[in-house]
Amino acid sequence: MAEHALRLVIGGGGTGGHTQPAVAVLRALRQRVPVEALWIGSHSGLERQVASEAGVPFRAVSTGKLRRYPSAHTLVDAIRVPLGILQAYRHVRVFHPHVIFGTGGFVSVPTVIAGFWGRCPTLIHEQTATAGLATRINARFADVIALSYATSERALRRRRGRLVVTGNPVRPELFEGRAARAYQRFGLTPDMPLIYITGGALGAHAINLVVERALPLLLERTQVVHQCGPASMNGDYPRLLDRRASLPAELATRYVVREFLGEELADVYAAACLVVGRAGAGTIAELAALGKPSVLIPLPGAGGDEQTLNARILSDAGAAVLLPQRELSEARLLEVLSEILGDEDRRRQMAEAARRQARLDAADRLADLILELAHRPVPERTLAR
């Protein structure tokens, strides 16, 4: 590693929404300066795998879920969190970073507080349209709080650092998708519209059930790529495979179901004329950046109803239809999809509206802030304001 490498500690994880921004920012930093990074996260979270794939050493600490409601687990977590802070502080002292980058989730709290104890400049990033509990705690210890949307500011009255709206980074490989590759990979055709249905990395059982019932009518006029989530989480994948096998051969060829999508996701996005899914922060950022019309079904009960607030970013702009899960049914889904698929001008307008919500330089803006905190030169063109 170069002698003057930027030493960066990343703290955060639990979901793709809290890990992918870190990867995007790390990539942007590596294009500018040598970087020596360390990722601090939980023992069982997604972040360990993501760090490994990004070539970043990983250290696990004890973590506890931060709850707004009474729970039998609260006492146990009341012990885990302070222990995690002490463990994170030890890792921070040994690594001696120039900057701490907290990407959210309860996993990030021990590392952000440890950075504060160690007097290390700290940047945190909130991906959603409202500030979650972890971000509200971290904001009391961070030097800079980066927001994806200005609406998050309302929940951050108690904060230590300055606020900057940067947007939410999107993986650059998603812009490299080719529709032709998706058609070829899945045996589909460009002569019929394609819908991409997703419940996020873990799937969405409620959406899967309605889609399963709607398939015969839906496939009469569309093709579907359906990411249903792992069978270990919701048990839907085997049942959906059986459902596909029961369809008439002509319809079955139009339905592709997968537990998850990897590198082929970019091609599926490129081919899709419409996306149906949850409203996680990462999904909203991707839809905006790629200019995809969407039907959004927010996860009920998410902290602070954050997915509904996320969905409104696009629905209020005319880029999406917000369909609450309590209104979700086979008939209602088919009605909404039919209205959008039958109006090409509307789809084009939705796509344009989605693009207007995108901040394509979000990763660079966050990289600027990290360099600024580390007292490194920041390109004048993208100097964060």
Q: Residue written as tokens 């969405």?
A: 204
Amino acid at 347: R
96 pLDDT more than 80:
yes
User: Which pLDDT score is estimated for 202?
Assistant: 81
Residues 20-28: what's their mean pLDDT? 95
User: Which pLDDT score is estimated for 377?
Assistant: 87
Q: Which residue has the higher pLDDT, 155 or 101?
A: 101
- Residues of the chain with pLDDT > 90: what percent? 83
39 pLDDT more than 80:
yes
Residues 273-287: what's their mean pLDDT? 96
**Cβ–Cβ < 8 Å for 289, 281:** no
Residues 217-246: what's their mean pLDDT? 96
Can you tell me the distance from the alpha carbon of 295 to that of 311, in angstroms, rounded to the nearest whole number?
Answer: 9
Q: Which residue has the higher pLDDT, 154 or 42?
A: 42
Count of all residues that appear for the chain in the document: 385
CATH superfamily of the 175-356 domain: Glycogen Phosphorylase B; (3.40.50.2000)
Q: Residue written as tokens 């210890």?
A: 141
The 8-class DSSP code of residue 347 comes to H
- Span 339-373, pLDDT tens digits: 999 999 999 999 999 999 999 999 999 999 999 99
For residue 218, how far is the Cα from the chain centroid? 28
Q: Which residues contact 293 (CB under 8 A, 6 or more apart)?
A: 273, 274, 275, 319, 320, 340, 346, 347, 350, 351, 354
User: Which pLDDT score is estimated for 384?
Assistant: 43
For helices 344-356 and 330-341, angle between their N-to-C axes, nearest 10 degrees: 90
Q: Residue written as tokens 């904001």?
A: 139
Confidence of residue 68 (pLDDT cuts 50, 70, 90): low
Amino acid at 29: L
Confidence of residue 385 (pLDDT cuts 50, 70, 90): very low
The 8-class DSSP code of residue 298 comes to P
User: Which pLDDT score is estimated for 99?
Assistant: 98
Asked if the domains at 6-170+360-382 and 175-356 fall in one CATH topology, the answer is: yes
**Cβ–Cβ < 8 Å for 254, 222:** yes
**Cβ–Cβ < 8 Å for 276, 197:** yes
Can you tell me the distance from the alpha carbon of 105 to that of 124, in angstroms, rounded to the nearest whole number?
Answer: 11
240 pLDDT more than 80:
yes
Q: For domain 6-170+360-382, which CATH number applies: 1.10.286.10, 3.40.50.2000, 3.30.930.10, 3.40.1280.10? A: 3.40.50.2000
Report which of 104, 178, 107, 117 is spatially closest to residue 146, judged by C-alpha positions: 104
The whole model's pTM is what?
0.90
**Domain chopping of the chain, boundaries:** 6-170+360-382, 175-356
Residues 45-72: what's their mean pLDDT? 82
User: Which pLDDT score is estimated for 63?
Assistant: 87
Confidence of residue 7 (pLDDT cuts 50, 70, 90): very high
Q: Residue written as tokens 């709850």?
A: 67
User: Which pLDDT score is estimated for 383?
Assistant: 44
User: Which pLDDT score is estimated for 73?
Assistant: 58
Backbone angles phi, psi at 354, to 5 degrees: -65, -45
- Average pLDDT value for the chain: 92
Confidence of residue 186 (pLDDT cuts 50, 70, 90): very high
Residues 310-326: what's their mean pLDDT? 97
User: Which pLDDT score is estimated for 159?
Assistant: 92
Three-class SS of residue 376?
coil
- Span 111-129, pLDDT tens digits: 999 999 999 999 999 999 9
Task: Name the E strands within 85-161.
Answer: 99-104, 122-126, 144-147
